[in-house]
Amino acid sequence: MGPSFPISIQGRNVIDSDFSFPLGQQPLHITTSDLVPRIVNSHEIAIGGFRFDVRSIIHRSASADEVFDGWQLLSSKVKMEKVTLPLFYATVYELAEPDFAEHEPILTVIPRLCFWYQRASAIDSATFPFKRKEVISKLRGILNEAEQYRKDATNSSFPTTSSALQAELNGLLAPKGLHKILGGKKLFDIVNNEELAISDCSSEVMYAALAKGVGLNVSFHRLHDIIIEGLPVEVKTHHSRLLPFTSNEGVRKFIIGGQSGGEDISLDDELSNFLTSKKSIQHLNKAINIQNGKIVIVNATYTSARSEFVRLSSSKNLCLDVKNPLLHAIELAKKTAHNEIPMIVSASAIDFDYMTCSLAAALPGIRDTLGNIKLDTQKLEKSAIKFSFENALH
């Protein structure tokens, strides 16, 4: 049996079934056209048999029209139905999980990318082509990987007819069906690669749009992720605790509804733990010492720190909006005599209104022979990072 829909938070149907019959019954009637977002009403979008309230899965100000417009923009450059298909398969596969209703469906990355891409496209028409080229290149890359594997493993092509897709879905829902259709484990790899690439793209356009939304000057550049108030900003999406989508692991443990489990530890400690890890330092070193970012934004949604952000914001009723951390980071970056590098760490979660919590911090810096500030990796490895709650509050 499938999960009980709708999945609600405070009386709002956040995720619902768009099928005409209870899930868990076969055959699953859906056509390829259902992979294209359909506007249900001003705040609901339907994709692949699932209905999402965009205010809860993307942003409190999001509209279904913007998601659809973003899809159209992306579809003019890349075949989005083909990008969506593996994620749709993964979401259907996740329906078998007994705790599906408690976690974020992987398919939500598609409407999220569409929305933020649309918002970003309206920021600066002169420089947005730099970002468009980058996003489309990444999407084409993962699409080429999926299509090549499909050809090698099954000698089949993208199901262009409803009957072809129907046959695959019926096979998918059979015991070990995912392995029979696309070779199993390799498809899981494709799904993970898609999720990584799409979340990276979404982070960059999301923070650009959020910065623009709070009144800052934003543009794009071929060498940097974003330019905010004339300062090059590098966005790094960490995946230090992304649960791989595998036949054994199943659904990712991103809990819906502002809840979190685990031990009660401080957010400072949790953030410091992953930011001072070897992998994280490599990312920060690249952003600052190689890409010359003056501000670094770290998306910690796919790390263990995410649950602590949610816990802090929910339990203490704090509004950890991105505006004040951004203003603090810009002020620090513009100081001529300082040895610190401004950083913002954010994490997002599905809730009644989609929650994006942000905190400001400073990374240890050191001046090179030309006077340019660089990340002091040795000091970072030995020091805990302290975050400013004052600069996060209104």
Quote the DSSP letter at residue 255: B
**C-alpha triplet 91, 95, 101: angle, nearest 5°:** 100
What are the structural domain ranges in the chain? 1-215, 255-394
The secondary structure of residue 290, as a DSSP letter, is I
For residue 115, how many C-alpha atoms fall within 13 Å in the half-sphere facing its CB?
29
SS3 243: coil
pLDDT tens for the 394 residues of the chain, in order: 455 677 888 889 888 877 654 455 445 556 667 789 999 999 999 998 789 999 999 999 999 999 999 999 999 999 998 888 888 877 877 766 656 656 678 899 999 999 999 999 999 999 999 999 999 999 999 888 877 766 655 555 555 555 555 555 555 545 454 444 444 556 677 788 888 899 999 999 999 999 999 999 999 999 999 999 999 999 998 875 444 444 444 333 343 333 444 444 466 666 777 677 777 788 788 888 888 889 999 998 887 777 777 776 666 555 678 899 999 999 999 886 678 889 998 888 888 888 888 888 888 888 877 777 888 888 877 766 767 655 444 3
357 with 285: CB under 8 angstroms?
no
Dihedral angle sign, alpha carbons of residues 388, 259, 300, 104: negative
Number of H helices, E strands in the chain: 13, 13
Give the Cα separation of 150 and 394 in Å (integer): 51
* Beta strand extents in the chain (DSSP E only): 7-9, 12-17, 38-41, 44-47, 50-53, 218-221, 224-228, 231-237, 295-299, 340-349, 355-367, 373-375, 387-388
pTM comes to: 0.85
